[in-house]
Structure 1
């Protein structure tokens, strides 16, 4: 057998061996166990370069990342999940247990300063001002006309007895702009009073009572019943806008800086923690990871081989060595 034939035979055998290994669950189990034995006790901080990782992510966000390219996929996935949720009989109480609700409520009650700022912002919103003005005007008008309050004023009752109620209505109509103008000028005082009243009413005890009462009311409800009310086409529109906003946000210096800080903080937090410790904290063992992952990897390799994708790739990788001068030199000298 010539050197070229021997090299070709070795490469083919090596390729067949690798393909068989990659389809074998036991191979993946052994490979992952070997990796765990070699790296399991090594602190994760020694396996990751935070600066290099941050640079890659930053460049990706700045130049390459685009959610719009996957817009169709995101839309299809969202609609599939939405349709499944529409048919699911789960209740709010099943999705958010009472214990978890109480834990969230406990944290919310600590945010008194933020709560007061939110009330202030809400009460000073122009829409709230207009709404309160309209409510006050409507209340005043109804009181004066529908409750016959004007009839009790001296001189008005005699006019109404003469069958001239329409004149009172017209007079009230003529006062509309004056009343509205007065309300607009004094609405800030009214809203400040409302803000003070809300802050006084929204004590922790009252919020607890309202929140628990609200939870008990919504716990039996099914989200599916409300998801069905969303108009058709909404998901596509939301996905489109979200992808566009996501692309713009990803390229902002603000976003990239936060991502950079987050990566460094994550690596720093994990720096002294070995993989074994991390998995234990996540309530899962390395054996469970292997049992879950190995079959999936073996099946994935089988699919790739069946589709004719994996073998050409392996051949390309092996050719880098088997066609090299170093390989030929070893064979020739053998």
Structure 2
């Protein structure tokens, strides 16, 4: 395309005008706010559809695996937080309010029905019954074999052995089998007693005071003590295992459907609401935009203008305009 000197002058003048206008601090800030004032009044359904939002999240969150670099960064940030020098000087009560702990304690201790139902499920589980049987059996066996009286009172050891022999001859089996048989036969009754004892030990009042006492024991423990329970040098493997769980979960039809239905429910609730109301739900309001976001984004826009990126992109469209048929017709006339 042949260059027209007059059109080139117009383009340069136009670019100089834009460069001057947008180099002014007020211009960028005002245009940013004007855009926000327009954007905040738009209903969600006028800008984005449910299908577009769902497709974006499905693609970027569920269909895109995390990179090795991201996994390493997560592990490094966790390690950095755990070894930070402030942990030595910061106690648990410095970052967790006692009022929050008290509310949690009151809430947990008040859930009697849920707690009792959970205890019932635990004590009636075959695994619990098996563990309880083994525990009682070993306790009885240990008492017979290592009785305190057996060690301190002369002749009692011989008496205990004699009693054991008599019991085995009467039952026609050894003591271990006899005890195990008794426990297995009566495990349901023992489990019921266990349930009663646990519920008595963890009633509302006792459970509340248990949590309160626990808080008083740990509230002045420094945060650095967390390192005692986490293998810092193994964080890369730990985070990788957590990622493996997520990597499998994100590919399941279950999670895809959950995300789809969750987005749909949210969209139906919000589609007629304006963006300023939606943004208020996540604490973004006009004051934040004016005082914080504009201060954050305006320097980026200013740098883009000063680097002549905007001028280069503007030239492309100005050339299209000035060399277009309508513009050429006006210039010729």
Q: Smaller-chain TM-score range?
A: 0.7 to 0.9
Partner of 2:12: 9
Partner of 1:67: 66
8 Å Cα contact 2:29/2:298 also seen in 1: no
8 Å Cα contact 1:7/1:322 also seen in 2: no
Partner of 1:321: 317
Give the Cα separation in 2 of the matches to 1:51 and 1:68.
Answer: 26
Give the Cα separation in 2 of the matches to 1:44 and 1:181.
Answer: 69
Q: Deviations over 1:120-160 (max 9, x none)?
A: 34334555444423331232124334336789xxxx95993
Give the Cα separation in 2 of the matches to 1:100 and 1:189.
Answer: 40
Give the Cα separation in 1 of the matches to 2:125 and 2:311.
Answer: 67
Give the Cα separation in 2 of the matches to 1:128 and 1:257.
Answer: 36
Partner of 1:288: 288
Partner of 1:258: 258
Q: 1:112 to 1:44 in 2, by over 3 A?
A: farther
Q: What is the root-mean-square deviation in Å for CA atoms of aligned residues?
A: 4.1
Q: Secondary structure at the match of 1:324?
A: helix
Deviation at 1:98, TM superposition (A): 2.2
Give the Cα separation in 2 of the matches to 1:177 and 1:149.
Answer: 24
Q: 1:97 to 1:325 in 2, by over 3 A?
A: closer
Q: 1:315 to 1:250 in 2, by over 3 A?
A: farther
Q: Which runs of 5+ in 1 are unaligned?
A: none
Give the Cα separation in 2 of the matches to 1:237 and 1:137.
Answer: 40
Deviation at 1:236, TM superposition (A): 0.8
Deviation at 1:7, TM superposition (A): 6.4
* Alignment TM-score, normalising by the size of structure 2: 0.74
Q: Secondary structure at the match of 1:66?
A: coil
Q: 1:136 to 1:102 in 2, by over 3 A?
A: same
Give the Cα separation in 2 of the matches to 1:266 and 1:90.
Answer: 40
Question: Between Structure 1 and Structure 2, how many residues are aligned?
Answer: 319
Partner of 1:246: 246
In the alignment, does 2:96 pair up with 1:96?
Answer: yes
Alignment of structure 1 residues 1-334 onto 2, 5 Å: 2-3=5-6, 5-6=8-9, 9=12, 13=16, 16=19, 20=23, 24=25, 26-44=26-44, 46-63=46-63, 65-69=64-68, 70-84=70-84, 87=87, 89-109=89-109, 111-125=111-125, 128-147=128-147, 160=158, 175-271=175-271, 273-277=273-277, 285-301=285-301, 311=309, 314=310, 317-318=313-314, 320-324=316-320, 327-332=323-328, 333-334=330-331
Q: Deviations over 1:220-261 (max 9, x none)?
A: 222321224422333211211122221221222221222223
Q: Deviations over 1:83-133 (max 9, x none)?
A: 338735332223221222233334434544432343234334555444423
Q: Secondary structure at the match of 1:94?
A: helix
Q: 1:297 to 1:112 in 2, by over 3 A?
A: same
8 Å Cα contact 1:68/1:244 also seen in 2: no
8 Å Cα contact 1:61/1:251 also seen in 2: no
Q: 1:182 to 1:167 in 2, by over 3 A?
A: same
Higher relative contact order (CA 8 A, sep 6+): 1
Q: 1:194 to 1:243 in 2, by over 3 A?
A: same
Give the Cα separation in 1 of the matches to 2:304 and 2:181.
Answer: 75
